Amino acid sequence: MSCQQNSSVEPDFPLTKAYYSFRVFRPTDPRQPRNEVGFDTLAYRAEDGSIRILTNRTVYFTNEYDTTIYANVPADRVLEGYLSARKAQNVTIEVGLIDKSGAKQKQDYRLVGVENQDPTVLMPVRVKVRTEVPLADVKAINK
């Protein structure tokens, strides 16, 4: 008689890469050559399920700032991102999977904006996305 015990440490799906794309847009203010955007909070859910947070960062750019963070998909397959920015007209979060070729396979997307914003007025813009990736999508990416 043979007894085999399943390990509860291994996830029931292959290790899969996810991405979080955070994008901030603000039209160029003709009175100054560059724009400044302050991230109050930029957060994403890591492989172990914990939330990783970057706060109080300032970046300078012409019209648009884009950053992409790569992480392994958590065992519960939940992708979650949050961005709060000052001095932005709109902010976007896109989350998805990375296939074997390295291409992005979008799962969810959120855009939040402030309409007709005066470049001299500072208004916070916040966006959050949370989605559970279907197991079938994870398995299809790994084929």
Residue burial 38-69, b: 16+ Cβ < 10 Å; e: rest: bbeebbbbeeeeeeeeeeeeeeeeeeebeeeb
What's the CA dihedral at 140, 74, 79, 130 to 10 degrees?
120
- Which H or E element spans position 6? none
Radius of gyration of the chain (CA): 19
In tens, the pLDDT along 31-53 reads 666 666 666 788 899 888 899 88
Query: Is residue 139's pLDDT more than 70?
Result: yes
pLDDT value, residue 58: 67
As given in the structure block, the two tokens for residue 39 are 């991230």
Q: Tell me the whole-structure pTM to 2 decimals.
A: 0.76
CA 138 vs. chain centroid, Å, equals: 18
In tens, the pLDDT along 76-115 reads 899 999 988 877 788 899 999 999 888 999 999 999 887 7
Residue with tokens 């899969």: 16
